[in-house]
Every structure is written in structure tokens, then in C-alpha cells.
């Protein structure tokens, strides 16, 4: 049943039966995703002898008129024996002209009951718009989820919490539960690729499941900007404001995108104020803390700081391994093979791809795509060979000399100490760490690395690599040192 009024049964509303047949044909021709985005909440309303198709928004009305209205007219004429004229209006237009007496309405065919209202940020690639969509969460298809801008794979169940993100995770779960005592607004910030978008998507899905009657709005800051600009051009800013400010929960991803855009920032500021003052909830993400968003308008930055600011730190090694295990389990379920890989392969990935969870998962995707269910038998050398083109691309600027200098500085040694014959532990362990780093982030062979460490042979380098591999699993301080050095060397 559509949210715009009280739906009559198809037998009581003949126009509804005509519209149902029209919808069935449109779904086949447009596809489920496109139909759901633009016509999913359009409702047929009758006032006396007049029949009107009411689009959710003015932008949706315009899209229907440009891309589907002619075909709708043809289908309507074929299916309506009474030959009634069908009109098209936005919800705002219809409500402004509607009489005070109740009107009947026939909902689109096959729209499930107990639907939820979501504002999409990615409805159609060519149309930057905000569209209200009716979504049956229990039966939502991946294509439909993508059309809404929310990705079903990003849920709390698939999010791997750890020391780097556990506070943000706990806050997100609390917001999604609609619990009292909510800080407003909430801002999650952290480096690119460490779970902010995942967390925001998970929050949105959980909030909608917890309170189906609440209105949840999700969009990226880029989509907010493009939609607002289009609303200005089309003189539909009132509709734009109404759609956002009627949200019970507004979620905006990558808010740093609006920095430097004066008019957009002002609109976002007033939207934020209106929602917060009305007791509605706002959650945003950014790639850095509000204090570091220097190009952002001071008033907006101040209000972001006035809420709850949650930092998400880069994942540590334990968390990266946990992410790999979860991802492997997901891939194994999809490909129907055992979720198993050699520990040294997973450890290599966790140590090699430290800058972004997306890159980490991408490396595992590459291995599974190449070997499929045989990943359990994949050796470390084979994994490195498969990933070598990617590794070579990323490591082109890192040299053994740079590694030696970074390690020497970190351990307060001289670079000459690392290539000397000194065997004191204070020198030997950093030397082994430097060899391990050279093996991880350069394409040099073991003999080549050995030559750059005072003419040592490849067996010495291999022993150093294996020794560090064993130690970092049990020595937290060494693991932290290696993480710091990896990040420093990769910039």
C-alpha cells in the first residue's frame, strides 16, 4: 500500500486495475530497478471523473514525462475500456490542488506492504536527483539496493570491529537502535578505505529495520550538491528542502566534498540546523576531523564539532587479518568452496596492504578470481607472483636505500650500522626488520637485497624474513614498529 493515502482494492477501483496492468508492462520494459526508482512510489489518484498519476517528487515527474510518459499513455489507452484521460503531477502539485474531501488512490501493482521510505542518492546515472522509493527490505534485490544508493553487503554483520573502529561501531549501533540520549549530529571521520561508508550503510539498513515507520534519508555529499544545484536551476528548492527536512534520520557520506562550495554549504548548514532543532537525527562521514576541514564554512564546521566526533583509525594487523578471514568466508560461500587459505598468504596480504581495506580486499579478490577454490593450496610465492604487477606498480618509488634510512631513523641508528657486521641485538633486529620490509615492498630478489645489506647471501635474508614473520605474530611492539614503517615508506 502506497504511503500517499488509503489504497482501495483493485475490484473497488477499476482505474487501479488498469494501472496494475500498465505497471506490469512497464516493469518488463524498463527493468525492476529503473521502475522502482522512478515509478515505485508513483500513485494513481481519482477525484471524481479525473485520474492522475502522482509522482513522488517534481524531479521524478520530469523524468517520467521525458522518458516514460508516452509509453504510459499507450499502455493506459490499451488497458482502459472507459478511455479516461490520465494526467501527471508531482505530489506537491496534487496536494496543493486537491479538494478537502478524501480522495481514492490505487497503488502501483506488486508493491509490497509495510514498505519503507528512503531517499536515494544514486537513482539513475544521468539524473542527479533525490527520489523517494518504496522498498520492501525483506525482498530487496541487489540491483534495487544499488539504485537506492545503499549496498546490502554493507551491514553490521559484515563489519569487522576492532580497536581501530570499535567506538565508532558502538555509536553507529546505538544510533541505529533509535536509543535516547543520542548525540546530534554524529560525524565519523578517518582515512579513505577504512569502513566509513560501510558503517553508514549498515546504520541505515539497521535503522530502517528497527523502526519501519521512520523516514531514513541517505545520500553522498556529491549527490547532495548536484541535486541542490539542479533544484536551483529547476526552481524546485522548496521540494528539495521538504524532502530532506522531513527525514527522521539524515545520513550524508563524504561531507568534505561540500567544502569550498558556498551556496551548497549554506543549504547543508540550514538543513542540519532544522533537523537538529526538530529533534531529528543527523550522521555524516568525512575523510578528516572537522577541525581539519579548513575550506568548510566556519558555522557548519562548528556545528559538526558540537555533536559527537568519532575517529576511525587505520586497521591494525589483527583487524586486517580478521577482515581477510571474513571476506574469504563470503567469497567461499559465493563460489561454494572451503573458506581456507595458508596462514602465510593471509599474513602477507595483511602486512602488504595496510593503507586501505578496499585494497586489502581487492588483493584477496584477485587471488580468488585467479585460482578459485584452489586458494587453500596457494603458496606464498604463487600469491606474490599473481599480485606482482600490482605490487610493482605501488612500489616503484620505494628503494632499499630508503628503507634502510627509515629503519635507522626509527631505531635511532646510523644507516651504516644496518650494513655493518655488528651482531648486537640492538642492530641485528632492526637489520632483519629492514630486510623484511625490502622483501615486502620492493620487487628486489633475495640475493639482490642481501647485496645491499653489506654483501650478505640470500639465505641470510630468507632467515631474517622468516624470523620477523614469526616474531611479529607474538611481539606487539615489533608489529607496531613495522606498521609505522610501512605507512611512512608508502607516504
CA torsion sign, 406 to 411 to 417 to 418?
negative
The grid coordinates listed for 248 are: 527522521
φ, ψ of residue 156 in degrees (nearest 5): -65, -30
The lowest-confidence range among 57-66, 96-105, 181-190, 382-391 is 96-105
d(CA 12, CA 106) in angstroms, rounded, equals 10
Going by the DSSP 8-state scheme, the letter that residue 475 receives in this structure is: -
- Where is pLDDT greater, at 23 or 444? 23
Secondary structure class of 215 (helix, strand, coil): coil
pLDDT at 391: 66
**What is the rounded distance in angstroms from the CA atom of residue 110 to the CA atom of residue 10?**
12
Mean pLDDT of the chain: 78
Going by their DSSP bridges, the two strands 249-253 and 216-220 should be labelled as parallel
pTM over 0.85, yes/no: no
Half-sphere CA count of 317, side-chain side, radius 13 A: 22
Tell me which residue has cell 571474513: 326
Q: What is the pLDDT of residues 122-174, one digit of tens each?
A: 333 333 333 333 334 334 333 333 445 788 888 888 888 887 788 888 889 98
Dihedral angle over CA of 325, 327, 330, 334, nearest 10? -120
Per-residue pLDDT averaged across 428-436, rounded?
93
- Cis check for the bond before 104: say yes or no (omega within 30 of 0): no
Which are the contacts of 347, defined by CB distance < 8 A and separation ≥ 6?
Answer: 321, 469, 473
Beta bridge partners of 45: 52, 105
431 pLDDT above the threshold of 90: yes
User: Using one digit for the tens of pLDDT, what is the confidence trace for 36-73?
Assistant: 667 877 888 887 778 899 887 666 687 788 888 988 98
Amino acid at each position: 500500500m502506497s504511503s500517499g493515502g488509503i489504497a482501495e482494492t483493485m475490484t473497488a477501483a477499476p482505474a487501479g486495475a488498469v494501472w496494475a496492468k500498465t505497471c506490469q508492462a512497464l516493469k518488463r520494459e524498463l527493468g525492476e530497478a529503473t521502475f522502482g526508482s522512478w515509478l515505485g512510489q508513483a500513485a494513481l489518484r481519482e477525484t471524481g471523473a479525473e485520474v492522475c498519476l502522482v509522482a513522488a517528487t517534481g524531479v521524478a515527474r520530469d523524468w517520467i514525462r521525458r522518458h516514460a510518459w508516452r509509453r504510459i499513455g499507450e499502455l493506459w489507452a490499451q488497458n482502459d475500456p472507459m478511455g479516461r484521460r490520465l494526467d501527471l503531477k508531482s505530489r506537491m502539485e496534487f496536494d496543493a490542488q486537491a479538494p478537502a474531501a478524501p480522495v481514492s488512490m490505487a497503488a502501483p501493482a506488486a508493491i509490497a506492504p509495510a514498505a519503507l521510505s528512503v531517499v536515494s542518492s544514486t537513482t539513475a546515472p544521468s539524473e542527479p536527483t533525490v527520489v523517494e522509493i518504496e522498498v520492501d527490505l525483506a525482498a530487496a534485490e541487489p540491483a534495487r539496493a544499488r539504485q537506492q544508493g545503499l549496498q546490502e553487503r554493507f551491514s553490521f554483520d559484515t563489519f569487522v570491529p576492532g580497536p581501530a573502529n570499535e567506538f565508532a561501531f558502538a555509536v553507529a549501533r546505538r544510533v541505529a537502535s533509535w536509543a535516547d540520549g543520542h548525540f546530534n549530529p554524529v560525524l565519523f571521520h578517518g582515512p579513505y578505505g577504512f569502513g566509513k561508508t560501510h558503517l553508514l550503510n549498515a546504520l541505515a539498513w539497521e535503522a530502517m529495520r528497527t523502526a519501519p515507520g521512520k523516514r531514513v534519508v541517505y545520500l553522498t555529499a556529491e549527490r547532495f550538491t548536484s541535486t541542490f544545484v539542479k533544484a536551483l536551476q529547476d526552481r524546485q528548492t522548496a521540494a528539495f528542502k521538504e524532502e530532506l527536512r522531513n527525514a527522521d534520520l539524515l545520513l550524508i557520506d563524504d561531507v568534505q566534498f561540500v567544502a569550498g562550495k558556498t551556496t551548497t554549504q549554506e543549504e547543508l548548514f540550514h538543513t542540519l540546523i532544522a533537523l537538529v532543532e526538530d529533534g531529528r537525527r543527523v550522521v555524516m562521514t568525512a575523510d578528516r576531523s572537522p577541525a581539519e576541514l579548513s575550506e568548510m564554512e566556519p558555522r557548519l564546521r562548528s556545528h559538526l564539532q558540537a555533536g559527537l566526533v568519532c575517529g576511525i583509525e587505520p586497521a591494525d594487523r589483527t583487524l586486517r587479518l580478521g577482515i581477510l578471514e571474513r571476506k574469504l568466508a563470503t567469497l567461499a560461500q559465493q563460489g561454494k568452496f572451503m573458506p581456507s587459505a595458508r596462514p602465510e598468504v593471509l599474513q602477507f596480504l595483511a602486512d602488504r596492504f595496510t593503507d586501505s581495506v578496499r585494497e586489502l580486499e581487492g588483493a584477496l579478490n584477485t587471488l580468488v578470481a585467479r585460482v578459485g577454490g584452489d586458494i587453500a593450496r596457494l603458496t606464498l610465492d604463487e600469491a606474490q607472483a599473481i599480485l606482482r604487477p600490482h605490487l610493482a606498480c605501488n612500489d616503484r618509488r620505494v628503494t632499499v636505500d630508503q628503507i634502510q634510512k627509515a629503519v635507522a631513523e626509527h631505531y635511532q641508528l646510523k644507516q651504516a650500522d644496518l650494513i655493518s657486521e655488528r651482531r648486537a641485538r640492538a642492530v641485528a633486529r632492526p637489520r632483519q626488520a629492514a630486510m623484511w620490509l625490502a622483501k615486502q615492498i620492493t620487487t628486489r630478489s633475495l640475493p639482490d637485497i642481501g647485496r645491499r645489506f653489506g654483501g650478505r647471501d640470500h639465505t641470510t635474508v630468507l632467515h631474517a624474513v622468516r624470523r620477523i614473520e614469526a616474531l611479529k605474530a607474538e611481539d606487539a611492539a615489533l608489529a607496531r614498529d613495522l606498521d609505522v614503517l610501512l605507512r611512512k615508506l608508502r607516504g
